[in-house]
Structure 1
Amino acid sequence: MDISLHQKRVATAVGLAAIPALALVFQGWVLFVVLALFCTFTLWEFYDMFSPLPGVGTVKSLGAVFTFLLLGAYAADAPQHMLMIFVAAFWAAAILFLVRFTRDATASFKPGMVLLAGLVYIPLNLHFFLSFSRHEILLVIGAAAISDTAAFYSGTLWGKKKIWPKVSPKKSWVGSLGGLTACMLATTGFGMAFGLGAPWQWLLLGAALNVAAQMGDFFESALKRSLHIKDSSSILPGHGGLLDRIDSLLLVVPTYGLIRTVHAFF
C-alpha cells in the first residue's frame, strides 16, 4: 500500500467529515444550503465526465437551477411539486435540443439525457437527507463510510479472488464480505444504542445498506470504465472526485429512505 497515498485518503476523508458535521449541528436551512451546494458541485463533476459534451455550460447551469428547485420543493414540504419540476427539466432539455437541432441537423439529445440522468442520480437520490433525523443522517453516512473502509482494508490485506473484475478489477470477495460484516455490526451497535427494534432487524438493515453501498460503487466504476476515465475528477487528493467519494452513498440514502417506510428504526 502506498503510504503517502493512504495518508492523503485519510486526510481528505477527515476534511470531508466537516461537511455533514456542519449540517448536523445546524440542520434547517443550513442543511438545505449545504446539501444543495454539494449536489450542484457533484452534478457538475458528473456532467464533466461526459466531455466533450455539447453545450456543457448550459447543461451545468440548468442542472444547478433544477437542483435547488427540486431540493427546495421538498424542503418546503411540497414533494408533489418535485414531479412538476422534473417535467420542467425535461422540457428545458427538449428545448435545448430543439435550438441546437435548428442550427445543426446532426445534433443529438445526448446533452438533455445527461442533464436528466444527473438530476436523478444525485439530487433526487440525496433529497431524502432533508427528511432524515440526526441519527438517520449519521446512520446512512456511517454505513456507507464503514462499508467502503472495511472493504478497502480487508481487500487490500487479504483479498485475492476478484468479485467483478470486468467492472472493478481491484475489488475482492474478501473485501466485499469484510465490508458487509463491518456494516452489519456497526449498524446493529448504533441501533441498539440509539434506535428501536430487535438486533436481527438492525442486522438485516446493515446487510441491505451494505449491498446498496457496493452496488452504488460498482455502478460508478462501470460508468467510468465505459467513459474511459479513471476518476470523476482530481479535486480530492487520494480519492479522485466528489462522485468517487459518495458513489456508495448515492444508493444507500434512497435504500434507507425506502426501508424506513416499512419499519421505523428511530
Structure 2
Amino acid sequence: MPVDHATDIRRTLTGVLLGAIILAVLAVRGWPLLCVILAVSALGLWEFFSLFWGPRGRIPSRICAIALGWGMLILSWMHRPQDALVCLGAGFVLASMSFLFRWDVIEEDAFSSSGIFMAGLAYVPLLLLPATYLSSVKLLFVLAAVAISDTAAYFVGTRFGHHKLWPRVSPNKSSEGAVGSLVACVLFCIIYGACLGTANWFAFALLGVAINAFAQVGDLFESALKRSVNVKDSGHLLPGHGGVLDRADSVLFAMPMFAVVDQWFFFF
C-alpha cells in the first residue's frame, strides 16, 4: 500500500493528544471520566445514526437515544446496573411503538428505523457500560492494548501489506497488518501484566490474543457498516482517524469481552 506521510503525521498527532487526555482523565477519574464516557456515547450514537439517516435525519430519535444511553451509563456509574438495563428496555418499548404507528401509516421500512434505533443503543452505550466500573489500571490496559493493536495494524499494513484480509468488508486491511496487530498486542499485554498484573505471562498472552481478536472483529464490523452505506469514515472529528466510531469501534468490542473475563479470572 502507498504510504501517505501527511496522514501519518495527522494520525500520530491526534493519537498523542487523545492519549494525553485519556491518561489525565484516568488519573483524576470521578466526573471528568464520566463526562468523557457520556461524550463518546453521544458522539458515537450521532455518527451511527448519520450512517443510515443522513447528517440531520430523525433528530428527535437521536436525542431520545442519546438520553437513554446517558441514563444507562449514569445509572451504571451509580452502581445500579439493573436500572441501566431498564433504560435499554424502555428504548425497545419506544422503538416498538414507533414501528407500530409508522407501520399503520406507511408500512414500508417501518421496522428498519426502529431496528436502527435499538442497534445504536446496543452498539454504543450498552457496550460502553464497563467503562463506568472498571478500575483505571484495567481501563488503561484495554485502551492501550487496542490502541497498540490498531496502530501496529495500520503501520505494518501500509508498509508491508500485500495480501487482502477481507476485501469486500475492508479493502485497505491486509493479512500482514492483522498479524502485526496480533503480535504487538500480545507483547504489550505480557509486558503490562509483568509490571502491574498478578497472573503469569502465558495468561496475559492468551488475554492479548482474545483482546486483539475482538478488537479486529469490532473494526471489521464498523467497516462493514460503512461499506453497506458507501461511506468511508463515520465522521471527521479526529484528523487522521475519521470519526469517534472509527477510533472506538475496536474498544466497543474488546472492553465488554475483557469485563466478562475479568469476572472469572484475576489478572490484576
Q: Please indicate the TM-score interval, normalised by the length of the shorter structure.
A: over 0.9
Residue correspondence of structure 1 range 40-51 to structure 2 within 5 A: 40-51=42-53
Aligned residue pairs, count: 266
- CA gap of 1:97–1:11, structure 2 versus 1, over 3 A, is same
Residue correspondence of structure 1 range 232-243 to structure 2 within 5 A: 232-243=234-245
Indicate the residue corresponding to 1:153 in structure 2.
155
Indicate the residue corresponding to 1:65 in structure 2.
67
Give the deviation of 1:55 after TM superposition. Answer: 5.7
Q: 1:40-73 CA distances to partner (integer Å, 9 max, x unpaired)? A: 1111111001024996201211111101110112
AA aligned opposite 1:225:
R
Instruction: Choose which of 14, 32, 35 in structure 1 pairs with 2:34.
Output: 32
Aligned to 1:234, the other structure's residue is in SS state coil
CA contact (8 A) 1:19 1:34 kept: no
AA aligned opposite 1:65:
A
Give the deviation of 1:131 after TM superposition. Answer: 1.3
Q: C-alpha separation between the residues in 2 aligned to 1:54 and 1:103? A: 23
Q: C-alpha separation between the residues in 1 aligned to 2:130 and 2:236? A: 27
Of the structure 1 ranges 2-11 and 41-50, higher mean CA displacement relative to structure 2 is found in 2-11
Supply the RMSD in Å over aligned alpha carbons. 1.7
Indicate the residue corresponding to 1:175 in structure 2.
177
CA contact (8 A) 1:100 1:107 kept: no
Indicate the residue corresponding to 1:76 in structure 2.
78
TM-score, normalised relative to structure 1? 0.94
Q: C-alpha separation between the residues in 2 aligned to 1:31 and 1:64? A: 18
Indicate the residue corresponding to 1:20 in structure 2.
22
Aligned to 1:171, the other structure's residue is in SS state strand
CA contact (8 A) 1:188 1:203 kept: yes
CA contact (8 A) 1:213 1:249 kept: yes
TM-score, normalised relative to structure 2? 0.94
CA contact (8 A) 2:233 2:243 kept: yes
Give the deviation of 1:198 after TM superposition. Answer: 0.6
Instruction: Choose which of 246, 249, 254 in structure 2 pairs with 1:247.
Output: 249
- CA gap of 1:104–1:88, structure 2 versus 1, over 3 A, is same
AA aligned opposite 1:130:
T
Q: Which consecutive segments of 4 or more residues in structure 1 shift more than 6 A? A: none
Q: C-alpha separation between the residues in 1 aligned to 2:101 and 2:110? A: 11
- The gaps in structure 2 that reach 5 residues or longer are none
Of the structure 1 ranges 90-99 and 186-195, higher mean CA displacement relative to structure 2 is found in 90-99
Residue 114 in structure 1 maps to residue 113 in structure 2: no
Indicate the residue corresponding to 1:87 in structure 2.
89
Give the deviation of 1:105 after TM superposition. Answer: 4.5
CA contact (8 A) 2:103 2:111 kept: no
Indicate the residue corresponding to 1:219 in structure 2.
221
Q: C-alpha separation between the residues in 1 aligned to 2:237 and 2:86? A: 34
Q: C-alpha separation between the residues in 2 aligned to 1:169 and 1:105? A: 36
Indicate the residue corresponding to 2:232 in structure 1.
230
Give the deviation of 1:234 after TM superposition. Answer: 1.8
Aligned to 1:169, the other structure's residue is in SS state strand
Instruction: Choose which of 185, 190, 193 in structure 2 pairs with 1:191.
Output: 193
- CA gap of 1:55–1:97, structure 2 versus 1, over 3 A, is farther
CA contact (8 A) 2:148 2:184 kept: yes
Q: C-alpha separation between the residues in 2 aligned to 1:18 and 1:112? A: 38
- CA gap of 1:11–1:104, structure 2 versus 1, over 3 A, is same
